[in-house]
Structure 1
Amino acid sequence: MPLALGRGRKANPEGRMALREHLREFRNRIIKCAIAIVVGAVAGFFLYNPLFSQLIQPIMNVAERDGRLASINFDGVASSFDLMVQTSLFLGLLVSSPVWLYQMWAFITPGLKDKERRIALAFMAVSVPLFIGGVYMAWLVLPNAVQALLGFTPEGGSNVITAQLYLTFVMRLLLAFGIAFLLPVVLFGLNLVGVLKGRQILKSWRVTVLLVCVLGAMAAPGPDIMSMFYLIVPLLFFFFLATGLCLLNDKRRERRSAKREAETEAAADTATSADDLENL
């Protein structure tokens, strides 16, 4: 079992602890995560009204621009309160993400070897800003995406959108962009464990560029062509950066494999001395 951080690895180099202590540490870290999420949710509760005004502004813009009915509908007595609670919890998860990510890291890392800890820490350090950057990019994309989707409404039609469905759409958009920005980290991680080769990723670059360009054209945060490039360039940069790192890692792995084979062949060609035979 992983060793608690306070114990130190010198006193217990194998990083072992009793099951009861392991469960107690897990419970304490869960409690810390829950407290951080609750504090973040309380902050989200106070931010709910200005945030909700920003979320529904694209719908209000459609109503003003096209002169038709477009509004958010609360279809129950308690639905507005439920929406406030869900939005506050979602904001709490985002705001407290550094805390609960650290608690996960602190719980796992004592049981890892030095090299594994360095790799895991590097992945954590890269994943958090990439995910937050993807969420921020989705926030910029949201107004244009809403206006584009509502633009398919036939003439004479109206858009009375259920608040719960709209919130679900916004959350999925934010998470989708956050996960999309994590894709390079996932690709490099699969390459590190030997599941995916850099050449395999490089072969799909044409399809990747096409999909990213289509996404940028549909979800660009502005009507001008520069807004599309603001979205396309980061995604393509991260993709090709991950591809380059995977290719370098493949070369390094091939060199180490060739070196081990050469050492094995050299050892096999060396004759066994008479003393070694006598000892055997």
Structure 2
Amino acid sequence: MASPTTAPARDASREALTDSPPVDGARAPGRRARMPLRGHLRELRTRSLWVAVGLAVGALLGWALYDPLLALLTRPLHLAASTEHRDIALNFTALGAPLDIRLKVSLFLAVLVTCPWWLYQVWAFITPGLTARERRYAVGFLGAAVPLFLGGGALAWWVLPHAVNILASFAPEGTSQLVNAQDYLTFVMRLVLAFGVAFVAPVLLVALNLAGVVRHEPLARGWRWAVLAAFVFAAVMTPTPDALTMVLVAAPICALYFAALGVAVWHDRQVDVRV
């Protein structure tokens, strides 16, 4: 029969095993790992509320800065008007269109400006359930994806005046252009998002490779198609008559693809050596 003093000893040893740090790759025995479904939902609600608060603050900032933002957004139209020597102006086709445009500009700025904040909230929600290796990968992906997306958006902003100028040049001589404000704002947003996604796509390829979904061989075989797709994308997004602009847009996308291919080759070799 075990003595009464052995029970506390067993409890102490059990607590020591429970509190021992996990090995690399094991899930941390944190609060989230023991949290019930209701606790997950409460945590999700809390993080969602913080995201909403951040977006609201960013939207208020965008609302306050609407006039200079609109002047910045319409600058390509003014440049095209001076270049083509014709009247080009925004046209609000509905009574509530100015308010709608102001709300869209404010929300768009809020999403961009508060990007680090709401990404941190997403990170804080998922990280307790990740392994140490998954956390390192996630930090690397976010650290690469956010600057690349912003870089793509900056390149889109550089391309925008050229695209507007070329599109405006198709109007007949002696005519005026009233550009629908809703359509123009949608065009600018889609251009920025398209360039941002194009710059982030190689990071997604690396993620698929690290997850074991895609190896480097098909990426290496398809490099010609990737280069062709980059130049087609550049030609569509930069409708300029000179080839230099198209090359300047396609070159960084191709460079990012080959960088992703290099990471995939290195990772696959490491996996093959371990196997």
- Classify the TM-score, shorter chain: 0.7 to 0.9
Give me the whole-angstrom Cα distance separating, in 2, the residues matched to 1:11 and 1:157. 70
**Quick one: structure 1 residues 77 and 14, their matched pair in 2 at CA, closer, same or farther if it must change by over 3 Å?**
closer
**8 Å Cα contact 1:198/1:246 also seen in 2:** yes
**Quick one: structure 1 residues 77 and 220, their matched pair in 2 at CA, closer, same or farther if it must change by over 3 Å?**
closer
Q: Does 1:163 align with 2:204?
A: no
Shift in Å, 1:155: 4.3
Residue by residue over 1:36-57, the C-alpha shift from the partner in whole angstroms, topping out at 9 and shown as x without a partner, is 1111111111222112112222
**8 Å Cα contact 1:140/1:221 also seen in 2:** no
Which of 81, 94, 98 aligns to 2:112? It is: 94
Which of 181, 188, 191 aligns to 2:206? It is: 188
Gap runs ≥5 in structure 1: 1-8, 258-280
Greater mean deviation of Cα atoms: 214-223 or 33-42 = 214-223
Which of 54, 73, 98 aligns to 1:55? It is: 73
Identity of aligned residues (%): 44
Aligned residue in 2 for 1:15: 33
1:93 maps to a residue whose letter is V
2:65 partner SS: helix
Give me the whole-angstrom Cα distance separating, in 1, the residues matched to 2:28 and 2:139. 21
Q: Does 1:202 align with 2:220?
A: yes
Aligned residue in 2 for 1:153: 171
Q: How does 1:58-137 map to 2 (within 5 A)?
A: 58-137=76-155
Give me the whole-angstrom Cα distance separating, in 1, the residues matched to 2:36 and 2:109. 36
**8 Å Cα contact 1:143/1:221 also seen in 2:** no
**8 Å Cα contact 1:142/1:221 also seen in 2:** no
Shift in Å, 1:93: 0.7
1:103 maps to a residue whose letter is Q
1:15 partner SS: helix
**Quick one: structure 1 residues 206 and 10, their matched pair in 2 at CA, closer, same or farther if it must change by over 3 Å?**
closer
2:89 partner SS: strand
TM-score normalized with structure 1 length: 0.80
Gap runs ≥5 in structure 2: 1-26
**8 Å Cα contact 2:66/2:105 also seen in 1:** yes
Greater mean deviation of Cα atoms: 214-223 or 196-205 = 214-223
Shift in Å, 1:179: 0.5
Which of 196, 202, 213 aligns to 1:178? It is: 196
1:160 partner SS: strand
**8 Å Cα contact 1:184/1:238 also seen in 2:** yes
**8 Å Cα contact 2:157/2:192 also seen in 1:** yes
Shift in Å, 1:11: 6.4
Aligned residue in 1 for 2:17: none
Give me the whole-angstrom Cα distance separating, in 1, the residues matched to 2:220 and 2:88. 45
Report how many aligned residue pairs link the two structures.
249
Which of 40, 44, 53 aligns to 1:35? It is: 53
